[in-house]
Amino acid sequence: MGVEPGAIQKPSEFQRAAAEFAGTFFLTLVAAGADIFDLSSRTPIGHTSRYLAPGLLVTAMIWSISGISGAHINPAITFAFVLRRCFPLPRAVVYWVAQFAGAITAAALLRAFFGSNVRLGATHPGDGFTPLAAMLWEALLTLILVFVILGTAQEAAVVGKNVALAVGLTVALCGLFSSPISGASMNPARSFGPQLISGWLSFWWVYFAGPLIGAGLASAIVYLVHGPARESERIAAHGKHQ
């Protein structure tokens, strides 16, 4: 039987994974690329541009792919939806593989362009801050980000593309006010890709543990505030074509 005109086709698992790969690829390219440009160029782009750019990119990706995959583009966000019991673990594993693959591919492309300077795009604890302090700060920033994502998902009126501005602005503001502490990654894939490609893996655990702890805490707080996941949150996690 053919598809009726105007009918909505459910995305395949491959399409969902491809969307997460592409979204995380673009995010890592922009976020790590901005760090490299600012720290290696004779004409630095400046702190504001470095941390506003990823926020704008996240906004654009939510507008572009949220209907297909939910536009997680961050393993910590996928983890939070799993904890909220509105996203199945098997699909989460597929998302995690796609997200890390996208980030690693973006970092490899940056290395092809900038050589060893790709190391400048790898997040690390700031001067004067211990790895533990950076990890705890990443947890706090991720808590803020995930609380916003899960909180906006409680209302059907703001699920999907309408949430793009809130999430993008949160990504930007976390970087603008606190990047010197940890780089304000809030995203294990974005951090791990450049760390792996540059061979600078000393702090990989900071950017795994911090965001996952933050996502877990945010999920617990959202449960206390909003209760169990609603249908609108399930739609936000999967995309509108579940």
Spatial distance between the Cα atoms of 68 and 238, rounded to a whole number of angstroms: 7
Give the DSSP per-residue string, 116-150: GGGGGGS--PPTT--HHHHHHHHHHHHHHHHHHHH
Q: Does 176 map to a domain?
A: yes
Q: Residue 224 sits in a domain of what CATH number?
A: 1.20.1080.10
Report pLDDT for 8.
61
Report pLDDT for 3.
47
CA angle centred on 177, ends 49 and 102, rounded to 5°: 55
Domain that holds residue 233: 13-238
Q: Does 229 map to a domain?
A: yes
Q: Does 129 map to a domain?
A: yes
Q: How many domains would you assign to the chain?
A: 1
Report pLDDT for 153.
85
Spatial distance between the Cα atoms of 192 and 76, rounded to a whole number of angstroms: 13
The predicted-structure confidence for 68-83, as pLDDT tens digits, reads as follows 999 999 999 999 999 9
Q: Does 4 map to a domain?
A: no
Q: Does 8 map to a domain?
A: no
Q: Does 7 map to a domain?
A: no
Spatial distance between the Cα atoms of 182 and 11, rounded to a whole number of angstroms: 36
Question: Would you report the helix, strand and coil content of the chain in percent, each value rounded to 5?
Answer: 75, 0, 25
Q: Does 137 map to a domain?
A: yes
Give whole-number Cα distances, 238 to 11, 18, 92, 174, in Å. 10, 14, 10, 25
Report pLDDT for 162.
72
pTM of this structure: 0.93
Report pLDDT for 161.
64
pLDDT less than 50: residues of the chain: 1-3
Please enumerate, as own/partner, the contacts of 3-8 that have beta carbons within 8 Å and a separation of 24 or more.
Answer: 8/241
Report pLDDT for 44.
85
Report pLDDT for 72.
97
